[in-house]
Structure 1
Amino acid sequence: MESCLTLIFLSSLVTLITANSVSVRLVNGNNPCAGRVEVFHRGQWGTVCHRDWDIADAAVVCRELDCGTAVKATYDAYFGQGSGPISMGFVGCSGSETALKDCSSISQYAQYCNHNQDAGVVCSEKGLRLVDGFHLCSGRVEMLRTEGWGSVCDAAFDQQDAEVVCRELDCGAPVQVLRAAAFGKGKGRVWSEEIQCRGNESQIDICQRTSSQMHSCSHDNDVGVICSGYTDLRLVNGPDICSGRVERQYFSKWGTVCDACWDMRAASVLCRQLNCGIAVSVVGSDWFGEGSGEIWADVFDCDGNERKLSECSISSWSRAECSHRRDVGVICSNSSLALHDGLVRLSGERQCEG
């Protein structure tokens, strides 16, 4: 009976945050539509405790920020620990609200949380998108700023800029840059500053930008890009998802990866991307079998500290030198194979000597 009374009392503390008391931002993500959730409340920014945080709450944040739909609600300070107050706790959204301020929360309970419980969100939209193309990796280039979405002027947009756009969207390499609103005219703003990428940046926002008075830009000048294809990655034929033959997807077609110039740095990036820890070993097709179908013979020149393979410099390799006998495999530290004593490999000129 006492516990029931306590529950009723706590329920009476549920606070609906007033319309003018809070705004929302995402911090420490790799694009404007992912990161630690922070709310502006009573004159300062604070974090949100992950207690009762779920995909319905994340959906409201994504909707409020015009970031599409919620892909993931994150916990345990996935995007790093914040500082300052923990402003909201035990958030209870139905998922249909237009803003987080419209959801209920037990603010008094936030004091029992700490910053290693900061909540986060991953939304479907990044701060960059391709619109009105004929597949996911083609279309009019649009960028998200604080003022909203806008198209990009084709003035001074070149192949190096397109390299970064395709890389950030996990769309492979650029095939063509199209000018003069080839994918139709956008709506709203036109970002007219010159984007000056070197071509090796992981995100378009990292590139230098200079405002230019030399170009008169309108939606007639909207630039478009066609990239080689959407990519995904997986490890197959191992005892778990953290070990196996490396396979990549271009659009709907999966293929194996040739071991030409594949090294531990590339393997480390792959393991990190798959949330599988660090690379323990790079192995040949004798471990996880030969694949079938396409053989992607790209060479990944990774430093080893990238968060995903698409951030590495990529060049094509002669496919004539590759066969399924050279399908590469990887064992990551989170795999059960990495826990076995006596894991052995041979390091020599040939696979069976060293």
Structure 2
Amino acid sequence: MASNTDRKLGRGMRLWIILSAFVVFWPNYVRCQFEGDVRLGDGAQNGRGRVEIYHDNQWGTICDDTWDISDAQVVCRQLGLGTINARGYTAISPGSGPIHLDGTYCVGTEYRLDSCSHEWGQNNCGHSEDAAVECDPDEGDVRLVDGSTPNQGRVEIYHNYQWGTVCDDRWGDSDARVVCRQLGYSGDVGEARSGGTYGRGYYPTYLDEVGCSGYESRLEYCTHDGWGIEDCSHSEDAGVYCYDNNDPDEGNVRLAGGSTPNQGRVEIYHNSLWGTVCDDRWGDSDARVVCRQLGYSGDVGEARTGGTYGQGSEPTYLDEVGCSGYESRLEYCTHDGWGIEDCSHSEDAGVYCYDNNDNDLEGDVRMVDGFSSDEGRVEIFHEGQWGTVCHDSWDDSDARVVCRQLGYSGDVGIATSGSTYGGGSDPIFLDDVTCSGYEARLEYCSHQEWGSNYCGHSEDAGVQCRSPATSSGVVGIMSFVGVSLSLLTLFALVAVCYTCSQRKPAVIPTQSDQVPLITSELISCR
């Protein structure tokens, strides 16, 4: 049995082991933060990330106003990282909490960021302007430079202690996705840019004929011709746009500048900004996709071109859009790439989304101001309003189509011209209408573009819809009545003459009658 002395010694030994372990391992789990310490947030890797500084017992971010290479060098030096290739940029992901510094100015030789010129807590920034740094990189690291925003730019890769560019031969979205993944973007994002979209680099061109599957974690792991083996110029520098799948508005569309909510200039939301669409190749199949995305039911949508709804402002995001007409969103259609275009805003594309649930449907016709309900000036419904039809080339074939569309049976319809039923009011929607006479609706006949005409309302077309059955019946009834009246009249005349032709005996009045003697000779029928 152990003595009390042995038990005390055992307890003392265990306590000593625990205290020793605490002393040895405590520094690995507890880091004492001091005023002015810096760290890299934003999932920092390879010496790059959002800069955060410790102040008043709280970590906070730094605004990127005046943020440059000198400030970045100081941060990298304070972190114990290399400063030769240090650079500053705007953070990919915004931080949270207080913004401690703004307008920081470093010479570049300071050892701590809080030694630079600054003022705590004074700023006019949001977290979309959080500053970030990239310290001396590792072999194979990538970066984006000269883009208008931090998530796009010319691709550069670090090799042999120097940055270099990538040639755009075979460069595609699968390569772009690898670059974005390596830079820390979540999701399968990344669109390729080529032809020196973001300007020409001046470092060596390191990679050519890059071929990524799209699932690699680093660009250097993709196939290529070998480091420095290339036949390119910097006009072929490859670029990348890393869009953010977390932005709920990315790819949304809206209509602007229209006289009604269901028509207007098409604008699409991208990279936190609204932009326009060029009308090159723009057609009804593209318009139907826009209307579907906006929530219109049915296969509706008509394209408008040439800045119909006024000119928008920069940027123009899409050009050469090619939709099948069945896509659910405009961004899913083929196009030249975000921001790749050769258009002016006089070519802004537009859309008219007519609603199949309206009482008056697109292409409906009516007759107005007629002398009866079966005739009148022809008007057609388009873009939410009624308009007239010009009488150029207007004939009975066109009239028969109008009458058929209005529900008249039989091959009926007589054309009238020269504003027979008075002139209408603007707009004049159709001109040079040419129907075969068998179409179901007037809009299906050939005609000039909607609204294209050289007419005045003195040339408004009209129609008389006469049903053959109705006309024959009326004529038959009128004929029967006329013949009957004629026979009755003739019978009455015969009866009168027959009565008058009969001789009557003389009437000899008595002397008291005191009237002259009248004989039958005094009566004659002529």
What is the TM-score normalised by the length of structure 2?
Answer: 0.28
What is the TM-score normalised by the length of structure 1?
Answer: 0.40
Structure with the greater alpha carbon radius of gyration: 2
| Higher RCO by CA contacts (8 Å cutoff, separation 6 or greater) | 1
